[in-house]
Structure 1
Amino acid sequence: MATWQSRGLRGSTLEELLNRTNEQYQEKHLALVQKIPTPITPINFDKETRHITLAYFDQKSTVDYIGAVQGIPVCFDAKESKTDTFSLQNVHEHQVRFMEAFERQRGISFLVIYYSGRDEFYYMPFCDLKKAWDRKEAGGRKSIPFNEIDTRYRIWPNRHGFLLPYLDALQLDLDGREEACSP
């Protein structure tokens, strides 16, 4: 059983931006995307601050977000990298398998990656993640260097009045899906 201990604000800024963006998308009737909570069993609880300080994960989580965008099912995970190399250790096998199964059901799976050292956000289509994952599984590189990131999928904060408007990148993914994801 995995344990969880507080790691401060790690990842919370990205998730907060995505949560607020998803609220904006819902308010504008563009999308309905929700954060999927990870089920935990609390072990230690700080009574003063009312915070959980130690817990066990009840089960493996799937992805961070699931929803629909204009009738298209989507699922994605939010990841952060402090360096220009995105470690595939940040992605778990059960997440890749879930995203793969989601795609087989005609859904769209992707990552939103925040490169905190650059202060830049990117959308990574599932097919790009899968290529890197398969390379790792075959004994190759266990990370994705920044120069392999498709910069067309950069997410520009505060564009169109949205905090982190990933729908632009989703549209780009949809438009080029057949050519980009072919073997």
Structure 2
Amino acid sequence: MATWSTRGLRGSELEDIINRTNERYAEKNIALIQKIPTPITPVRMDKEHRQITLAYFEQRSTVDYIGVVQGIPVCFDAKECAETTFPIQNIHEHQAVFMERFERQGGVAFLLIYFSGENRAYYMRFEELLKFWNRSRQGGRKSFRIDELDPRFFMDMKANVYLPYLDLMNLDLSMRDELDNT
């Protein structure tokens, strides 16, 4: 059973930006995306019983976010990386399996990766994730470099308050349509 202990605000900057973006999409009736909390059982609390200082995960989570965009089911996970090389081990097998099953049901699955050292975010299509995942599983590199990624799927952080990932989801969908029509 995995244990969690307070380690600061790891990943919270990206999560805050995604949450604000999702609120904006919901206000404009573009999408309804929700953060999926990971169920935990508290083990230790602070003296005032206001903060959990030690807990264990009740079960493995699937992805961070799930919802619908204009009738299209969507799920994605948010990852943060300080380096320009992203370790595949940061994507757990149960997450990849869930995303694959989600895609088979007609949904769109992807990763949002924030390269904090570069202050750049990336929309990783599930198809691209599978390429790196399979390479790793077949004895190849256990990571991918930022320069291996498709430049069309990088996003500017809009003043660190908005991440326009639906623009890139549209590009993803149009690329899928092109493949289906050939």
Q: Find runs of 4+ consecutive structure 1 residues off by over 4 angstroms.
A: 178-181
Structure 1 length-normalised TM: 0.93
Q: How far apart, CA to CA, are the structure 1 residues paired with 2:80 and 2:179?
A: 24
Structure 2 length-normalised TM: 0.94
1:140 is aligned to 140
1:58 is aligned to 58
1:170 is aligned to 169
Instruction: Say how many residue pairs are matched.
Output: 179
2:6 is aligned to 6
Q: How far apart, CA to CA, are the structure 2 residues paired with 1:73 and 1:19?
A: 18
1:97 is aligned to 97
| Paired letter, 1:151 | P
Q: How far apart, CA to CA, are the structure 2 residues paired with 1:178 and 1:131?
A: 19
1:156 is aligned to 156
| Contact 2:119 2:157 (8 Å CA) reproduced | no
Q: How far apart, CA to CA, are the structure 2 residues paired with 1:55 and 1:121?
A: 30
Listed as ranges, the gaps of 5+ residues in structure 1 are: none
Listed as ranges, the gaps of 5+ residues in structure 2 are: none
Paired residue secondary structure (2:26): helix
Structure 1 residue 47, shift from structure 2 partner: 3.0
Q: How far apart, CA to CA, are the structure 2 residues paired with 1:49 and 1:41?
A: 14
Cα deviations by residue, 1:32-71 (Å, 9 ceiling, x for unpaired): 0000000000001113371111111000000000000000
* RMSD of aligned alpha carbons: 1.6
Cα deviations by residue, 1:122-151 (Å, 9 ceiling, x for unpaired): 100000001100111111111011111111
Q: How far apart, CA to CA, are the structure 2 residues paired with 1:3 and 1:180?
A: 43
Q: How far apart, CA to CA, are the structure 1 residues paired with 2:144 and 2:179?
A: 17
| Paired letter, 1:29 | N
Q: How far apart, CA to CA, are the structure 2 residues paired with 1:34 and 1:167?
A: 15
* Closer, same or farther: CA 180–122 of 1 in aligned 2, 3 Å: farther
- Please show how residues 77-96 of structure 1 align to structure 2 within 5 Å: 77-96=77-96
1:125 is aligned to 125
Give the share of equivalent positions with the same residue, in percent. Answer: 61
1:47 is aligned to 47
Q: How far apart, CA to CA, are the structure 1 residues paired with 2:27 and 2:141?
A: 42
Q: How far apart, CA to CA, are the structure 1 residues paired with 2:76 and 2:179?
A: 18
* Closer, same or farther: CA 114–180 of 1 in aligned 2, 3 Å: farther
